[in-house]
Structure 1
Amino acid sequence: SRVLEEQGVRTKIVERDRAKATTARLAGSDVHFGSILSERTVETLDLDGIGHLLAITGSDELNAIAAERMRSVFGSSRVWRLPPDPDAPAHARFPEHVPGRLLFSKSATEREIERRVAEGGAIKATRLTDSFDWDAYKEHNPGSLVMVIVRGDTPIVVAADQAVSGRPGDAVVSLTMPVGPPAPEPVGREEEPAEEAIDDPVG
């Protein structure tokens, strides 16, 4: 949420785990301690400036229930959830065709996102320009998972079933993987000058 806040997008985390809520608060996030399934939570949430619900818990079932519950608040097109894990045990598997639009990519399950983070992935924002456009961004960030594009002061949430494209001036918020070490030069060949690419990070 911090990266989005830095781009002028208001966020609020609803967390029912006290330790996680405290950690998020200490990191500077706006956190409401409670369950999104609680009537009291829904009644007391300050949603001024909040336009979307992103249900990103580790439970496919909870994500779907939260999306169903909040449809009347945000509208069907603005409630989102992580894709269900196709490798989950049969008893824990949840159907894809339930309330909530699927986020980011059909492969962007909680398990996949946790794997990326464990391998050094981090959520970053990159500003597109005329000289560093969408094609250049994709070329220099081939393994990134684009999550949100901030256009002006409007967040465009990336849907799993739609193509995404950024424009100069947009801030691309993505889970970006670290760049690996350069491949060793072949023995016996003359070294060629390397090209330098400049990624213009936001913030």
Structure 2
Amino acid sequence: DHAIAAGHLSENISKATGQMVPIVFIVIIGTVAVYGIFAAPIARMLGLATKDPRGILFAGAGLWTRLAAKALQDDGHDVLLLDTNYDNIAEAKLLGIPAHRANILSEYVEDELELSGLGQLLATTPNDEVNSLATQHFVHVFGREFIWQVAPHDDDYHHSTAVASHMRGRISFPSRPKYNRLERFAAEGAAIKKTTLTEQFSYNDFKQMYGEDHVLLFLDSEERGLRVAHDEMREPVTGTTLYALIKPEDA
């Protein structure tokens, strides 16, 4: 009888073990996924991450990106440029900008690079797919609010032919300029101009002064820190510093 009971017990344990394996696997995968999505926001809430980091990780190091990153760095903001193009990285390093020759989608970037002080991603490569993948890859690092990419080539296409918006990051800069326009602007001699708004010189004054000859890139204020300019932003107020790419005759 004892032998029969032991046999039944062994059989039941085997069945239970077989049922537990997929459950344990699902729990592990679910835990990893949830941790990946919420780790960065929770770390910010608990103060485990660098306090309110607003530095920018740039995926891409083209001409206009180097100009923008240099202007931010000169004002004390943390920046890091990543690009697989050797010449782009070499040019960035000549300017003294922190830069690595690396693929933004590689495990090396997230696992081995020092990202402290960086709280935002701006994907600026000429490849729309890489930009979109980069934003999805880093959502769990920085949070959806701080994931940006330049407007893709199909940004103004009908929704039936354009990639779904949830597959991309937030689109940067007012009027949603595309990569080619930004790079051409810089190649024609545009420069980064920094302007601090005052009661005598408002954002409307700024727009009237430069018209279509500028692209507003970033805003910085004591209250809200460094942030990427975009179509739906609130109008900048007195005390806000604007970083804009300005045509050479106006810079």
Interval of TM-score (by shorter of Structure 1 and Structure 2): 0.7 to 0.9
Counterpart check, 1:9 vs 2:77: yes
2:184 to 104, 115, 122: 115
Check 1:6–1:165 CA distance in 2 against 1; reply closer, same or farther (3 A cut): farther
Partner of 2:21: none
Question: Normalised by the size of structure 1, how large is the TM-score?
Answer: 0.78
Aligned pairs for 1:18-57 (under 5 A) are 18-57=86-125
- Partner AA of 1:103 in structure 2: S
Higher-Rg member (1/2): 2
* Alpha-carbon offset, residue 179 of structure 1: 3.6
In the alignment, structure 2 segments of 5+ residues that lack a partner are: 1-68, 156-160
* Structure-2 separation of matches of 1:72 and 1:30: 23
- Partner AA of 1:111 in structure 2: N
* Structure-2 separation of matches of 1:140 and 1:165: 16
Q: By percentage of residues, which structure has more helix?
A: 2
Partner of 1:60: 128
Partner SS state of residue 130, structure 2: helix
Counterpart check, 1:137 vs 2:195: no
Counterpart check, 1:172 vs 2:242: yes
* Alpha-carbon offset, residue 177 of structure 1: 1.7
- Partner AA of 2:97 in structure 1: S
- Partner AA of 2:210 in structure 1: N
- Partner AA of 1:167 in structure 2: V
Counterpart check, 1:102 vs 2:168: no
* Alpha-carbon offset, residue 83 of structure 1: 0.9
* Structure-2 separation of matches of 1:126 and 1:119: 21
Determine if contact 1:32/1:45 at 8 Å carries over to the other structure.
no
Q: Give CA deviations for 1:33-87 in whole Å, capped at 9, x if unaligned.
A: 2111110121112111111000000000000000011111001111111111139
- Partner AA of 1:55 in structure 2: A
Partner SS state of residue 140, structure 1: helix
Determine if contact 2:83/2:89 at 8 Å carries over to the other structure.
yes
Check 1:113–1:96 CA distance in 2 against 1; reply closer, same or farther (3 A cut): farther
Check 1:94–1:22 CA distance in 2 against 1; reply closer, same or farther (3 A cut): farther
Q: Pairwise CA RMSD of aligned residues?
A: 2.3
Check 1:43–1:94 CA distance in 2 against 1; reply closer, same or farther (3 A cut): farther
Question: Normalised by the size of structure 2, how large is the TM-score?
Answer: 0.64
Determine if contact 1:149/1:155 at 8 Å carries over to the other structure.
yes
- Partner AA of 1:2 in structure 2: K
Determine if contact 1:84/1:95 at 8 Å carries over to the other structure.
no
Partner of 2:38: none
Partner of 2:219: 149
Partner SS state of residue 242, structure 2: strand
* Alpha-carbon offset, residue 159 of structure 1: 2.3
* Structure-2 separation of matches of 1:106 and 1:57: 18
- Partner AA of 1:176 in structure 2: I
Q: Give CA deviations for 1:89-113 in whole Å, capped at 9, x if unaligned.
A: xxxx862512311111354100111
In the alignment, structure 1 segments of 5+ residues that lack a partner are: 88-92, 181-200
Check 1:8–1:175 CA distance in 2 against 1; reply closer, same or farther (3 A cut): same
Aligned length: 176
Q: Give CA deviations for 1:152-188 in whole Å, capped at 9, x if unaligned.
A: 271121123x0442222221011112347xxxxxxxx
Q: Could you list the structure 1 runs, at least 4 aligned residues long, displaced by more than 4 angstroms after superposition.
A: none
* Structure-2 separation of matches of 1:128 and 1:71: 32
Partner of 1:90: none
* Alpha-carbon offset, residue 136 of structure 1: 1.8
